[in-house]
Chain A
Amino acid sequence: MSATLPLPLPAAAAPAQPSRSYWTVVWRQLRRDPMAMASAAVLLLIVGAAVFAPWLAPADPYKASMIKRLLPIGSPGFLLGTDELGRDLLSRLMHGGRLSLLMGVVPVLAAFGIGTTIGLLAGYVGGRVNMAIMRVLDIFYAFPSVLLAVAISGALGPGMSNSLIALTLVFVPQVVRVAESVTTQVRQLDYIEAARMSGAGAFSIIRTHVLGNVLGPVFVYATGLLSVSMILASGLSFLGLGVKPPEPEWGLMLNTLRSAIYSNPWVAALPGVLIFVTSIAFNLLADSVRSAMDIRK
């Protein structure tokens, strides 16, 4: 055992295929997932229709007509019928998507940024700082998110920007919790210790080694929040705390069409169907991204 073992040191065999980055692999995985592609297509359609509504919509979404009130689906000139003021429902749904999607995406984006920063800090520093931050956020957890959104929004007063702030505040604690737990896990891994051994500062370690490994899982979690945010935003508008009439917005439309639920149920249900389809598509896509990202090991 004292001499060198009689084994050669072979140059390890070179793998045949070219190297791919993590995100390339995730993308290939996603492309092979029919559910992911279907939900992405649905979302693309809805987002496209909303974004290009001013050019694509067949009619003016604000133009009312008392004689054409509550026309059924398929009426000539009004593909999806009209609402309680005789406005073209298809145009209103397309225009309404702009606000609804905005109120779904903006709070989640804001909460993603704020929450990840706080969560990283709490998770990386640990100890008492972590304890202080997490216990304060636990207070928000004591309330159901709908109640919290309504309470904050009510306290700030109605209006779109106030409901955006309210929704952001609702999501921040949830994002922080995920970011904190992922950071705590990552921080204990050996490659962080190896980076500390190299004498790198905390900021450099967080930027190079922690952030990249925390953003992925938190991002996936945040995509799951998009549907919740849309539903909550619609709920706020439905309650009169968000967008004000005559602005088209799905939640608000659901409220104003409520009275027509007996006379023309299909038309009245349409904004709700859109909210439902969009949030389901967001959820399914988030699930697919989550499983596609699980390729390590």
Chain B
Amino acid sequence: MNAALAPTPAPHDMGGPAQPLLIVRDLKKHFPVRSSPLDRERKFVHAVDGVNFSVPKGKTLGIVGESGCGKSTTARLVARLMPADAGELIFDGEGVEEFRGLRLKEFRRNLQMVFQDSFASLNPRLTIAETIAYGPRVHGIARADHQARELLDRVGLDPSHFAGRYPHELSGGQRQRVNIARALAFDPRLVILDEAVAALDKSVQAQVLNLLQELKAERQLTYLFISHDLHVVHYLSDYVMVMYLGQVIESGPVERIYGHPAHPYTRALLSAVPSMDPEHRTQASPLAGDPPNPINPPSGCRFRDRCPHAHAVCASATPALRDMGRHSEHLAACHLNDPASGHPEAHQEQRP
């Protein structure tokens, strides 16, 4: 067990390099909403509604979308911090649903999470060395303290100055480094970064992103990177998945998605990114209104009431994720890309 916690571990690969580290199938989570105890009709928020994706080993999958689209719920479901209503997790070729007790512990050690709020994710009563060493110590690792100091050093915090400090004495960027160090204490294979750099200012954000890139290369990590910041996702991710109202509407390699977005929602998101060139300012907001109520999502395509290309077929038929080109790994769920869908604009909009 100590060997597995050495700073640069041998990858404990089971399924071989071609086996995706994580496969998620048809993940669902509906939160019951009760407006009053006497309300007979049970309603549900469809927070995550049939999400499928996979993360190849050593890659970063970025999940983007508006607030409330189910990004963070997806992360928590994958981390098994809350039970899913339906769905299957396959971690390096092994199903996770049957993980119970000890095996769930084992799974959790392979998967760690960095949260958005760097302050709320650190216990204010523990020094940061204690925080980092807590998990390993629970598992009876004797060198937990020593290892915590090494990890602090690795994330750029001098252990002789920082090991005995309390979270309120650190800046946001320093606290987030501590959170990263804690996530690494178990030598995980998958790290979920839930808006991990969103609360940091731009220069600190860049430093932390660089640190994440270095750690990924050094420890063969795989990231699930959740963010609403499209620049950051572009920088860090190999693959991108766009979510809308609890569903995946487009996914694929990052350059493909950013270069040739196939879904009208993705196009709108990308054109909403502030331009770096003052000569080409974005004038009008490309998307009007808020996402529809997730308690009663629209029939057919959930994006249709905000979509400039909406047509009768969008209300009657739900578009499936379709491959946008042979073996391109680029999937999008829109009738415009399906000549057989019956959408009048389908042909001229089709991607090469």
Instruction: Tell me if B161 counts as interface (CB < 8 A to partner A).
Output: yes
Instruction: Tell me if B108 counts as interface (CB < 8 A to partner A).
Output: yes
Q: Which of A10, A194, A195, A297 has the most CB of B within 10 A?
A: A194
Q: Provided the pairs A14-B161, A191-B121 are in contact, do residues A200 and B138 lie with their beta carbons within 8 angstroms?
A: yes
Q: Which B residues, 86 to 108, have Cβ-Cβ distances below 8 Å to chain A?
A: 104-106, 108
**A7: nearest chain-B partner, CB-CB:** B206
**B130: nearest chain-A partner, CB-CB:** A208
Pick from B124, B158, B161, B162: contact of A296, CB under 8 Å: B124
Q: Provided the pairs A5-B210, A197-B79 are in contact, do residues A190 and B156 lie with their beta carbons within 8 angstroms?
A: no
Q: B201 → chain A, closest Cβ, in Å?
A: 13
Pick from B81, B109, B169, B185: contact of A196, CB under 8 Å: B81
Q: Is the CB of A9 within 8 A of B156?
A: yes
Q: Is the CB of A198 within 8 A of B138?
A: yes
In the assembled complex, the Cα of A11 lies from the Cα of B173 at a distance in Å of 12
Q: Which A residues, 178 to 226, have Cβ-Cβ distances below 8 Å to chain B?
A: 189-191, 193-201, 204, 208-209, 212-213
In the assembled complex, the Cα of A201 lies from the Cα of B108 at a distance in Å of 13
Q: Is the CB of B113 within 8 A of A193?
A: yes
Instruction: Tell me if A22 counts as interface (CB < 8 A to partner B).
Output: yes
Q: Is the CB of A21 within 8 A of B166?
A: yes
Pick from A11, A195, A197, A296: contact of B168, CB under 8 Å: A296
Q: Provided the pairs A14-B161, A22-B125 are in contact, do residues A198 and B206 lie with their beta carbons within 8 angstroms?
A: no
Pick from A14, A20, A190: contact of B121, CB under 8 Å: A190
Q: B162 → chain A, closest Cβ, in Å?
A: 8
Instruction: Tell me if A263 counts as interface (CB < 8 A to partner B).
Output: no
Instruction: Tell me if B115 counts as interface (CB < 8 A to partner A).
Output: yes
Q: B217 → chain A, closest Cβ, in Å?
A: 10
Q: B141 → chain A, closest Cβ, in Å?
A: 11
Kindly list chain A residues whose C-beta atoms are within 8 Å of the C-beta of B33. Answer: none
Kindly list chain A residues whose C-beta atoms are within 8 Å of the C-beta of B211. Answer: 9
Kindly list chain B residues whose C-beta atoms are within 8 Å of the C-beta of A5. Answer: 206, 209-210, 235
Instruction: Tell me if B311 counts as interface (CB < 8 A to partner A).
Output: no
Kindly list chain B residues whose C-beta atoms are within 8 Å of the C-beta of A209. Answer: 123, 126
Instruction: Tell me if A155 counts as interface (CB < 8 A to partner B).
Output: no
Instruction: Tell me if B186 counts as interface (CB < 8 A to partner A).
Output: yes
Instruction: Tell me if A295 counts as interface (CB < 8 A to partner B).
Output: yes
Instruction: Tell me if A12 counts as interface (CB < 8 A to partner B).
Output: yes
Q: Is the CB of B166 within 8 A of A11?
A: no
Q: B199 → chain A, closest Cβ, in Å?
A: 12
Instruction: Tell me if A4 counts as interface (CB < 8 A to partner B).
Output: yes
Q: Is the CB of A4 within 8 A of B121?
A: no
Kindly list chain B residues whose C-beta atoms are within 8 Å of the C-beta of A191. Answer: 120-123, 131
Q: Is the CB of A7 within 8 A of B158?
A: no
Q: Chain A interface residue count: which class?
A: 20 to 34
Pick from A1, A11, A19, A200: contact of B134, CB under 8 Å: A200
Q: A190 → chain B, closest Cβ, in Å?
A: 4
Q: Is the CB of A193 within 8 A of B81?
A: yes
Q: Is the CB of A198 within 8 A of B126?
A: no
In the assembled complex, the Cα of A9 lies from the Cα of B218 at a distance in Å of 16
In the assembled complex, the Cα of A297 lies from the Cα of B209 at a distance in Å of 25
Q: Provided the pairs A5-B206, A9-B207, A11-B156 are in contact, do residues A204 and B161 lie with their beta carbons within 8 angstroms?
A: no
Q: Which of B113, B124, B156, B179 has the most CB of A within 10 A?
A: B124
Q: Is the CB of B125 within 8 A of A197?
A: no
Instruction: Tell me if B112 counts as interface (CB < 8 A to partner A).
Output: yes
Cβ proximity bits B207-222 to A, threshold 8 Å, 1 near / 0 not:
1011101100000000
In the assembled complex, the Cα of A197 lies from the Cα of B76 at a distance in Å of 10
Q: How many A-B residue pairs have CB under 8 A?
A: 116
Kindly list chain B residues whose C-beta atoms are within 8 Å of the C-beta of A4. Answer: 210, 213
In the assembled complex, the Cα of A9 lies from the Cα of B203 at a distance in Å of 11
Q: A54 → chain B, closest Cβ, in Å?
A: 41
In the assembled complex, the Cα of A104 lies from the Cα of B165 at a distance in Å of 38
Pick from A7, A199, A296: contact of B210, CB under 8 Å: A7
Kindly list chain A residues whose C-beta atoms are within 8 Å of the C-beta of B122. Answer: 191
Q: Is the CB of A198 within 8 A of B186?
A: yes
Kindly list chain A residues whose C-beta atoms are within 8 Å of the C-beta of B139. Answer: 198-199
Instruction: Tell me if A15 counts as interface (CB < 8 A to partner B).
Output: yes
Instruction: Tell me if B234 counts as interface (CB < 8 A to partner A).
Output: yes
Kindly list chain A residues whose C-beta atoms are within 8 Å of the C-beta of B104. Answer: 199
In the assembled complex, the Cα of A93 lies from the Cα of B113 at a distance in Å of 61
Q: A13 → chain B, closest Cβ, in Å?
A: 9
In the assembled complex, the Cα of A178 lies from the Cα of B200 at a distance in Å of 34
Q: Is the CB of B135 within 8 A of A199?
A: yes
Instruction: Tell me if B28 counts as interface (CB < 8 A to partner A).
Output: no
In the assembled complex, the Cα of A12 lies from the Cα of B131 at a distance in Å of 19
Q: Is the CB of B166 within 8 A of A200?
A: no
Q: Provided the pairs A10-B156, A11-B158, A204-B138 are in contact, do residues A199 and B109 lie with their beta carbons within 8 angstroms?
A: yes
In the assembled complex, the Cα of A193 lies from the Cα of B104 at a distance in Å of 15
Q: Provided the pairs A19-B164, A199-B105, A297-B168 are in contact, do residues A190 and B120 lie with their beta carbons within 8 angstroms?
A: yes
Q: Is the CB of B125 within 8 A of A213?
A: yes
Q: Is the CB of B234 within 8 A of A1?
A: yes
Q: Provided the pairs A5-B209, A198-B134 are in contact, do residues A12 and B174 lie with their beta carbons within 8 angstroms?
A: yes
In the assembled complex, the Cα of A20 lies from the Cα of B169 at a distance in Å of 9
Nearest 9 A/B pairs, CB to CB: A198-B135, A190-B121, A199-B105, A14-B161, A190-B115, A212-B125, A200-B138, A190-B120, A19-B165
* Chain B residues proximal to chain A, CB less than 8 Å: 79, 81, 104-106, 108-109, 111-113, 115, 117, 119-127, 131, 134-135, 138-139, 156-158, 161-162, 164-166, 168-169, 171, 173-174, 177, 179, 182, 185-186, 203, 206-207, 209-211, 213-214, 231, 234-235
Q: Can you report 13 residue pairs joining A to B where beta carbons are below 8 Å apart?
A: A1-B231, A4-B210, A7-B207, A15-B161, A19-B166, A191-B120, A193-B81, A194-B115, A196-B108, A198-B138, A200-B135, A208-B126, A295-B168
